[in-house]
Structure 1
């Protein structure tokens, strides 16, 4: 959908005490964006002339900030992981709050675990901004500019409003310290009609995104992780 030229600054802090580890991470990105879709690029440019917050992402020096707070407890048997993240992107592109909590217990080479996670976009209101409708109505009716703005207006909530809760249960098997087999079943629910994390979901072969009808989606995963 787009190409990025980014300058990234990351600051990280980690504190360990006995079996506890606290992590704090802060990132800032200055991004130049080239939208490859001509219609979206035109619509975003027109909106940006009114306010950078109304573009999909400003074409130059778009500001993206992220914060992450994590806590880990590991005594060799009991494992507890918790993490909270926040991303703030200038423009119509999605800002998110998310967190997860995982707990597991080691039995020899086996590690069964369960996870609860929540994801929520925090800026849905800007994608329904009345100013976008005003800008669209002030453009010549049926013009390429008006169609471009209308396309951004209609697609932005579909693509970037996100809400979901997920529950997962799984087991890891450690063949060696470098090789881990993973089996997991996850249910994603409470999507409230949003596309959530299924941005690429498309069951009809059409070019428009498709929001899954079922509010509860089951995902099964099987993988082997190898560290060289």
Structure 2
């Protein structure tokens, strides 16, 4: 769940059998009483980046090609989704959601993003089982439905750190009140598969998370803490060569090995929206304790609504909580052959560390709800990768220089039905 989670795609086997069993269970009067809903959403977008030595993307798990690959790219934000829901009675319900979006293989694919059943045990207590959205950030439940966002896209610095948007498991939610404040506390348990790149898969096991929401009038607060065990089969071999260099190699491998690591996530955010204007802020830290990184990202955004038109501004910052360079293995005193191997290892380590994003961006945009269920959005970003990092860019070319700001112009139409 971090930078090189920059290549995550959830693929775990989901308990859709549970959903099928529940559908089969409904018969006779129960089936006649069932209330079905169907809806869809999508974004048609275009983006242009002035950085011609790399590609700008919203999420490296579904890489866009604006910049080096394309002058104008239509795959940075474009996606579509559909959702089927059913309310069987006062207690039982189910939902399935699929999305069509860009994959790490640079092709559009269909993903099963939600597939779960819900049991409303009491008015306050509910349980769900199946494929469930991970409630890690404020927009976690609707980040793929652009129409629900005030911006053209959720701030990349934070939301690209967690491309895993769901897990296969269960969650339990409890609603309660203190005076005029409405609370909801959710405990999530699950697992997910992860595509680190085209050839390497990882598994996020034992995902445990607790999320607390509090709503007081126009103010919404959310705090989340979660952890999981990330396992990358075959990764042990990647560091066997490092460990062969004695105590220095052992220390280096212990610091950066990705084979089996606990990943920890903490986030907190607020949304104040009295109607005419809004102010949203959020911060999150994702620490893998490995070569995959330890990063903190934050953003603050404000906008004002003039009828159907809503301009907004956003500032976002992504920082590394660990060095993005290392001296690596000492070369002094090594035989020429061993020194050559150690040099290659050091180069590879520093290359991977440079993938840990350090970046800030300033954005200005506007949303125009020009028709029912249709919104046109335009956004201009000034993005600066820093500290030798590539930021959140992909497909970086030899001519890329960190520290050089570039611009991104994006246009999009969001729709729901």
> What SS class does the counterpart of residue 159 from structure 1 fall into?
coil
Cα pair 1:95 1:122 within 8 Å, conserved: yes
Measured in 2, the distance between the counterparts of 1:45 and 1:104 equals 52
Cα displacement (A) at 1:147: 5.7
RMSD: 2.8
SS in 2 for 1:182: strand
Contact in 1 for aligned 2:385/2:391 (Cα 8 Å): no
Report the equivalent of 1:3: 201
Q: Distance in 1 between matches of 2:402 and 2:291?
A: 25
Deviation of the 1:55 alpha carbon: 2.8
User: Which secondary structure does the structure 2 equivalent of 1:223 belong to?
Assistant: strand
Q: Secondary structure, in 3 states, of the residue corresponding to 1:124?
A: coil
C-alpha distance in structure 1 between counterparts of 2:343 and 2:217, whole Å: 60
For these two proteins, the number of residue pairs brought into alignment is: 211
Aligned 1:46-195 pairs, distance under 5 A: 46-47=241-242, 50-51=250-251, 53-57=254-258, 59-60=259-260, 62-124=261-323, 127-128=325-326, 130=327, 132-134=328-330, 141-142=336-337, 146=342, 149-160=345-356, 162-175=357-370, 178-189=373-384, 191-195=386-390
TM-score normalised by the chain length of structure 1: 0.79
- Equivalent in 388, 404, 411 of residue 215 of structure 1: 404
User: For residues 34 and 180 of structure 1, what CA distance do their matches in structure 2 show?
Assistant: 44
CA distance in 2 between partners of 1:190 and 1:155 (Å): 15
Q: Could you say what secondary structure the match of 2:275 adopts?
A: coil
**Alpha-carbon displacement from aligned partner over 1:125-155 (angstroms, at most 9, x marks no partner):** 6x41x5x323x66876435953652343331
Distance 1:33 1:176, change over 3 A: farther
* Residues 201/152 of structure 1: CA separation in 2 closer, same or farther (3 Å cut): closer
1:53–1:107: structure 2 CA closer, same or farther, 3 Å change rule? farther
Q: In terms of Rg, which structure is larger? A: 2
Q: Call closer, same or farther: CA 1:186–1:133 in 2, change over 3 Å.
A: same
- Give the structure, 1 or 2, with the largest relative contact order (CA under 8 Å, sep 6 or more): 2
Listed as ranges, the gaps of 5+ residues in structure 1 are 205-209
Three-state SS of the structure 2 residue aligned to 1:154 is helix
